[in-house]
Amino acid sequence: QSVLTQPPSVSEAPRQRVTISCSGSSSNIGNNAVNWYQQLPGKAPKLLIYYDDLLPSGVSDRFSGSKSGTSASLAISGLQSEDEADYYCAAWDDRLNGVVFGGGTKLTVL
């Protein structure tokens, strides 16, 4: 049971837009920045979004993040087949003095 809650899977057609939700609590998302990681099959996770809505250098602007209260969302527009991956939200947790992750969402591009 992960501390942050994500849908296990989402799917959408190419060139469409999809959003992935992430729900937490006041000790994590409510009080700390949310980050998103993309994990391609067989690869290490890669930073996708940090500080709720910032894109690291080299990440496509088709990806965007937002946060409100104790929930956050990742949006991917103009879906491409190479976006098929697992996506994880994460945030620092003040009670645990560590990082908490969502359970991950598997994106399928139909």
Burial of 57 (0-12, 13-18, 19+ CB in 10 A): exposed
Q: By C-beta, is 19 or 31 nearer to other proteins?
A: 31
Q: By C-beta, is 12 or 94 nearer to other proteins?
A: 94
Q: By C-beta, is 14 or 37 nearer to other proteins?
A: 37
Binding site for other proteins (CB under 8 A): 2, 31-33, 35, 37, 39, 44-47, 50-51, 56, 86, 88, 90, 92, 96-104
CB of 15 to other proteins, least distance (A): 28
Q: Which residues contact 72 (CB under 8 A, 6 or more apart)?
A: 21, 22, 24, 29, 34, 52, 65, 66, 89, 91
